[in-house]
Amino acid sequence: MGMTMSQKILAAHAGMKEVKAGQLINAKIDLALANDITGPVAIKEFGKTGVKNVSDSAKIALVMDHFAPNKDIKSAQQCKICREFAAEQNIENFFDVGKMGIEHALLPEQGLVGAGDLVIGADSHTCTYGALGAFSTGVGSTDMCAGMMSGEAWFKVPSAIKFVLHGKPAKYTCGKDVILHIIGLIGVDGALYKSMEFTGDGVANLSIDDRFTICNMAIEAGAKNGIFPVDGVTLEYMKGRFKREARIFSADDDAEYDAVYDIDLSALKPTVAFPHLPENAKTEEAWGDIKINQVVIGSCTNGHISDLRIAAEILKGRKVAKNVRAIIIPATNEIYLQAVHEGLVDIFINAGAIVSTPTCGPCLGGYMGILAENERAVSTTNRNFVGRMGHVSSEVYLASPYVAAASAVTGRLSSPEDL
């Protein structure tokens, strides 16, 4: 029996001709990632081992993105631990204030991850890099510590589900609608510890940002990773960015899949995940009249330049509704600058929105947009669990930038066609 795309990447990094689902392997990693929440835990464990130096400082990235610029003393201490460790270990891929970015948008932008890579990250949304044809997955901080020490990680080889994408997304639908539809279809445990492999003629009609969004939320279906084939769109994005040689893997014709789903992209409609699970996906006819208090457009899921352009398209010449707070967060400084140069920031501010430095803050109820008791937010983030963005009685509706921006204008959950 042949291997899936993910299995081929794992086999290559383990130095093996083949691997099978369920097999336990050790494999060499190309990058280990941590942030200002998970990094300090890994660093403290590293200190307990007695090991003096990391295996390869060039294969470690530390990104201060959750609570930087520091919101309080505790977060300042967390970042200080990472800063001191980065200096001590000469970690060149250290990103802090002034070199800002949300990790899962920043690392692809900086060319630190790419096709054929094997990446671990002490953050569950590390699966984002599958958009570039990499096997990337989230791990715990202790596994991050082991990766820093040895340059290797252990894996249980996952089985896979194939999603065959056809057609082209309709107007006002994008990658966020695709993944919310899929999670609604299979559930939050529908791909538990499996690879979600995307293929089909419809892939060519998805931008690289769409693919980042889809792979980013593979974890919301319980997946080990999400992955797209490497094509012209992938190579064009990596051109001039990726610092290593691309390694292109593809699934064997006789690769085994636990299930196969056919998805007609042209039939998808704007989709929103209602509280309190990403699988609670509904299209507009089932939304009802949902009054909102806040809109967040940003995060590692939808803070790309294409997402900001969508928001500007909807907000241009319009105003944010009274009593609605609209918060827009470019995912990296490079994206922020591009938004400034394109005049998008002018549009946002003139509409009555605010624009923040890159941060994960509101996504996890950290800062820059915490919800109060009984408040509702439409957000382009990736999770809407109870209390995810603030008070336990608050509600989060996950949506695309199209829906989020339209909702900011109307003050209610809305699609652009409602404007």
**Cβ-based neighbours of 347, under 8 Å, separated by 6 or more:** 312, 315, 316
How distant, in Å, are the alpha carbons of 6, 11, 207, 223, 245 from that of 249? 8, 11, 20, 20, 13
Q: So what's the pLDDT on residue 7?
A: 97
**Assigned token pair, 248:** 């292109």
Q: Is 285 exposed, middle or buried (0-12, 13-18, 19+ CB in 10 A)?
A: exposed
DSSP E strand boundaries for 141-268: 152-156, 160-166, 195-199, 225-227, 259-264
| CATH 3.40.50.720 correct for 5-244+253-263 | no
10 Å Cβ neighbour count for 298? 34
Three-class DSSP category at 293: coil
Domains 5-244+253-263 and 272-418 share a fold: yes
**Assigned token pair, 197:** 């492999």
Q: So what's the pLDDT on residue 125?
A: 95
Angle at 225 between CA 335 and CA 99, to 5 degrees: 25
- The CA distance from 317 to 171, in Å, is 20
10 Å Cβ neighbour count for 19? 22
Query: What's the average pLDDT block by block, 10 residues per block, for the chain (419 residues)?
Result: 94 96 96 95 92 93 93 94 95 92 96 96 96 96 94 96 97 96 96 96 97 97 97 95 92 95 96 96 95 96 97 97 96 97 98 95 89 96 92 96 98 94
Q: So what's the pLDDT on residue 198?
A: 98
Work out whether strand 376-379 and strand 294-297 pair parallel, antiparallel, or are unpaired. parallel
Domain ranges of the chain: 5-244+253-263, 272-418
CATH number belonging to domain 272-418: 3.30.499.10
